[in-house]
Amino acid sequence: MSHVNVGIDKIRVWPASLALPMDELCRARGRSPEEARDVLMVDERSVNPPWEDPVTMAVNAANAMLTDEERASVRLLLVCSESGVDQEKPLSVWVHRYLGLDSRCRNLEVKHACYSGTGALGLASSFIASGAAGRGARALVITTDQSRMHFGKPWELVMGACASALLVSAEPRMLAIELGKSGVYTREVMDDLCRPTSRVEQGNSETSLLSYLEALDSAVPAYIEAVGERIGYDYFKKNVYHVPFGGMTLRASRRALTHFGDYTRAEAQALWESKTKPSLAFVRRMGGTYASSTFAALLGLIARSNDLRSGDRIGMFSYGSGCCSEMYSGLLGPAFQEVAAEANLEGLLDERHRIGVRDYEECERERVCYIDAGDFETSIDGLGGWYARRYGGRHLLTYRGAKDYYRRYEWS
């Protein structure tokens, strides 16, 4: 099926609206700012104000991207998250409502840690390619996640929040997915990261990193087998790897190279710097973005690479705790630069309100108080009047609390 033209036609990212400089957090926690900057490769982290949740981030990522004609044509909505707000009702129904999608649109909430977005993109691409939904049908894949509170924990430096929205069509302007060129690896890992309750986000970071590399070691050969011919690393113009933190992509790139030939450490470093490092431009400013990370990285790659052309092949690797991974590829579409520019992710990052550690901790504590609570109103005060300055009158969806457990959303 690799000849079928289907893939990402439009993309948007909502990087939350608050930003915490990592050097401030490091000083408050007695950690080295150099560790965050040079090893983890994280400069800032996104923070949700109390009136943002996974539903509002998902809607605000997609809403401005869609035309009326595109809304009417969406026949499949997949909302991917490990931050679900209800044990029965899917995020996708709220998202469907507030995006004004057609009632004939199938919708599902998809859960598989950080892999869910890539898995959903594959399912949506196959759905559109099959023609089952009719001529001109589109699919919408949205990833949306926020971390839990981790004050003083070693992994606090790589937490974050983000949502991304991908419009999938049979005329992809940004990236045509090479259907059939895919290598998947699945293995249950109990000691990996997990969320056993609505409040707890727990795991073993060392086991998780080892599991990531083990999954990569199996997914890459499976991809090569699917291609059906001997290929080198130059088969890809650039490479994107799942980004739990920027430094992990260097380890991933080095490991992937072992399946394509013998490289010295210096050669591996140079290849990472030329083919993958540009993808960190935006994710360095958001911290952990969960299933959104590969798509935010793709935008960064396009924004910071001056040697990309339509038709260039981009290698993509996604990993989700638990675990499932996939190596796949896509060809840059005829308007990939315009689509990336329209997303304006750098502008959204610059527009965030920079906060200190105290405001960050207050936001996190307030958000934890809301989890599983049946009656409350979210606060829109404080933060220097940020709600009025950023949200007021701009038709952004906001989370306003709950009454008898029924969640309330309002447009700003």
Q: Is 82 a residue of the active site? A: yes
Number of domains in the chain: 2
User: Residue 237 in contact with residue 266, Cβ under 8 Å?
Assistant: no
Q: Which of 44, 52, 80, 242 is catalytic?
A: 242
* Residue among 383, 380, 360, 399 nearest 157 (CA): 360
H or E, element range at 212? helix 205-227
H or E, element range at 181? strand 175-186
Question: Is 290 a domain residue?
Answer: yes
pLDDT at 1: 46
Helix H, strand E, coil C: the string for 50-75 is: CCCCHHHHHHHHHHHHCCHHHHHHEE
User: Residue 140 in contact with residue 65, Cβ under 8 Å?
Assistant: no
pLDDT at 152: 85
Residue 317 shares a structural domain with residue 296: yes
User: Residue 72 in contact with residue 96, Cβ under 8 Å?
Assistant: no
Question: Is 88 a domain residue?
Answer: yes
Q: Which of 44, 52, 82, 201 is catalytic?
A: 82
Question: Is 301 a domain residue?
Answer: yes
| Single-letter code of the amino acid located at 50 | P
What is the rounded distance in angstroms from the CA atom of residue 55 to the CA atom of residue 49? 13
Question: Is 139 a domain residue?
Answer: yes
Point out the domain boundary residue: 311, 334, 357: 334
Residue 40 shares a structural domain with residue 153: yes
Question: Is 218 a domain residue?
Answer: yes
pLDDT at 374: 87
CATH number of 91's domain: 3.40.47.10
Place of tokens 């130059």: 234
What is the rounded distance in angstroms from the CA atom of residue 372 to the CA atom of residue 348? 30
User: Residue 35 in contact with residue 50, Cβ under 8 Å?
Assistant: no
Residue 230 shares a structural domain with residue 371: no
What is the rounded distance in angstroms from the CA atom of residue 348 to the CA atom of residue 344? 6
Question: Is 37 a domain residue?
Answer: yes
* Residue among 76, 143, 405, 408 nearest 293 (CA): 143
pTM: 0.96
Q: Is 114 a residue of the active site? A: yes
Residue 147 shares a structural domain with residue 261: no
Point out the domain boundary residue: 314, 334, 354: 334
pLDDT at 367: 87
Give the chain's residues under pLDDT 50: 1
Q: Which of 114, 162, 194, 363 is catalytic?
A: 114
10 Å Cβ neighbour count for 103?
Answer: 5
pLDDT at 209: 86
Residue 208 shares a structural domain with residue 328: yes
Residue 183 shares a structural domain with residue 169: no
Q: Is 112 a residue of the active site? A: no
pLDDT at 44: 96
Distances, alpha carbon 123 to alpha carbons 11, 55, 312, in Å:
17, 22, 23
Handedness of CA 60, 95, 280, 355 (dihedral sign): positive
Q: What is the pLDDT of residues 350-388, one digit of tens each?
A: 999 999 999 999 999 998 888 888 899 999 999 999 999
Domain hosting residue 292, numbered range: 177-334
Residue 65 shares a structural domain with residue 208: no
User: Residue 328 in contact with residue 177, Cβ under 8 Å?
Assistant: yes
Residue 330 shares a structural domain with residue 363: no
